[in-house]
Copies of this chain bind each other. A is one copy, B any other.
Amino acid sequence: MERITLAHGDGGQLAHQLIADIFVSMFHNDRHAKFDAATFTLDLHELAMTTDSFVVKPLFFPGGNIGKLAVAGTINDLAVVGAIPKVMTCSFIIEEGFPIGDLKTIVQSMAEEAKKANVAIVAGDTKVVERGSADGLYINTTGIGVISHPLEPKMCEGDSVIVSGSVGDHGVAILVARGELGLVSTVESDCATLYPLIAKALQASQRIRLMRDPTRGGLATALVEICEDFGVTIELEEERIPVKQEVEGACELLGFDPLYLANEGKVVMIVPKEDEQAVLDALRSQPEGKDAAVIGTVRATNKGQLLLRTPLGTTRRLYRLTGLMLPRIC
Expressed in whole angstroms, the Cα–Cα distance for A210 and B144 within the complex equals 26
Expressed in whole angstroms, the Cα–Cα distance for A138 and B110 within the complex equals 22
Tell me if A146 counts as interface (CB < 8 A to partner B). yes
* A32 & B123 in contact (Cβ 8 Å cutoff): yes
B-contacting residues, A1-39, CB 8 Å:
1-10, 15, 18-19, 22-23, 26-29, 31-32, 37-38
Expressed in whole angstroms, the Cα–Cα distance for A131 and B37 within the complex equals 29
B-contacting residues, A106-150, CB 8 Å:
107-108, 110-111, 114, 120-130, 132-135, 138, 140, 142, 144, 146
* A121 & B27 in contact (Cβ 8 Å cutoff): yes
Residues on the B chain within 8 Å of A31, using CB:
122
Q: For residue A36, which residue of chain B has the nearest CB?
A: B123
Q: Apart from A29-B121, A49-B144, what are 16 other A-B pairs with CB-CB below 8 Å?
A: A1-B99, A1-B100, A3-B100, A4-B97, A4-B103, A5-B96, A9-B128, A10-B128, A22-B104, A23-B107, A37-B123, A40-B122, A53-B127, A89-B142, A93-B138, A140-B140
Distance from A75 Cβ to chain B, minimum over Cβ atoms (Å): 15
1/0 contact string of A269-289 vs chain B (CB within 8 Å): 000000000000000000000
Tell me if A68 counts as interface (CB < 8 A to partner B). no
* B120 & A3 in contact (Cβ 8 Å cutoff): no
Expressed in whole angstroms, the Cα–Cα distance for A139 and B22 within the complex equals 15
* B6 & A100 in contact (Cβ 8 Å cutoff): no
Residues on the B chain within 8 Å of A129, using CB:
9, 55, 135, 327-328
Q: For residue A324, which residue of chain B has the nearest CB?
A: B128
Distance from A128 Cβ to chain B, minimum over Cβ atoms (Å): 3
- Asked whether A26 and B111 contact (CB < 8 A) given A43-B45, A129-B328, A328-B129, the answer is yes
* B93 & A4 in contact (Cβ 8 Å cutoff): no
Tell me if A248 counts as interface (CB < 8 A to partner B). no
* A53 & B140 in contact (Cβ 8 Å cutoff): yes
Number of interface residues of A (CB under 8 A): 80
Expressed in whole angstroms, the Cα–Cα distance for A38 and B24 within the complex equals 28
Tell me if A91 counts as interface (CB < 8 A to partner B). yes
* Choice from B8, B27, B52, B130 contacting A125 with Cβ under 8 Å: B52
* B101 & A1 in contact (Cβ 8 Å cutoff): yes
Distance from A72 Cβ to chain B, minimum over Cβ atoms (Å): 15
Tell me if A253 counts as interface (CB < 8 A to partner B). no
Expressed in whole angstroms, the Cα–Cα distance for A118 and B123 within the complex equals 23
* B142 & A51 in contact (Cβ 8 Å cutoff): yes
Q: For residue A27, which residue of chain B has the nearest CB?
A: B121
Residues on the B chain within 8 Å of A7, using CB:
128
Q: For residue A109, which residue of chain B has the nearest CB?
A: B26
* B142 & A98 in contact (Cβ 8 Å cutoff): no
Q: For residue A138, which residue of chain B has the nearest CB?
A: B93
* B8 & A126 in contact (Cβ 8 Å cutoff): yes
* Choice from B1, B37, B93, B107 contacting A27 with Cβ under 8 Å: B107
* A53 & B125 in contact (Cβ 8 Å cutoff): yes
